[in-house]
Amino acid sequence: MRLTFRSTLMAVFVAAMAGCGFQLRGAYDLPYESLYLSMPDYSLIGAGLKRAIRSSGSTRIVDNAKEAQATFLPTGETRLPLILSLSSAGRVREKRLSYRFGYRIVDSKGRDLVLPVTVEINRDLTYADSDVLAKTQEEALLWQDMEKDLVQQLMRRLAAVKPIPPANSE
């Protein structure tokens, strides 16, 4: 069998990636059998989260909080553009887009399974008055990217969480 440079390089790459612990992002195993998302259907985060949970296959999304083992409750969502620096003329040079999303997870009786958590995502962008239209579009694309990133972070956090066992105070 004759190895070419390309096949040798590919073999080295695969061995290096396997050795560093890299693995493709796949389905997440959530610790809940059923989950109710207390989010409107028109919410981009809610729709993305539902899609990701359904694709995991391990957790069922239910339409009623009483049927669910756990309920995902958003506690707040804030989008905040911040000015990082100004030019000598007092015009914006750099902006930071800050996106905060808070949530908690409760059981069917309203007891916390996961204490309130806030996820914060930031993106920086340069700004130029000469390219207002392009920078406005870039900002909109960054917000969309942050929403997709938030859904992935929520899925990783939901899969990694160890729910707090409820106290036996009935």
Sheet of 34-37: strands edge to edge? 60-61, 34-37, 70-86, 92-106, 112-126
Predicted local confidence at residue 25, as pLDDT: 52
Phi-psi region of 90 (alpha: psi -120 to 50; beta: other; left: phi over 0): left
User: Which of 10-14, 33-37, 63-67 has the lowest average pLDDT?
Assistant: 10-14
For residues 161 and 114, is the Cβ–Cβ distance under 8 A?
A: yes
What's the pTM? 0.76
Whole-angstrom distance, CA of residue 65 vs CA of residue 61: 10
Position 34, amino acid: S
Mean pLDDT on 41-62: 90
| pLDDT score of 29 | 81
22 vs 73: which has the higher pLDDT: 73
Residue spans of the domains in the chain: they are 25-160
Question: For the chain, how many residues are written?
Answer: 170
Contact 161, 31 (CB under 8 A): yes
pLDDT given for residue 110 in this prediction: 84
Options 3.30.420.40, 2.60.120.10, 3.30.160.150, 3.30.450.90; CATH of 25-160 = 3.30.160.150
Asked whether residue 78 carries a pLDDT value surpassing 90, the answer given is yes
Cα 62 to the chain's mean position, in Å? 21
> Average per-residue pLDDT in the chain?
85
What are 124-153's pLDDT values in tens digits? 999 888 888 999 999 999 999 999 999 999
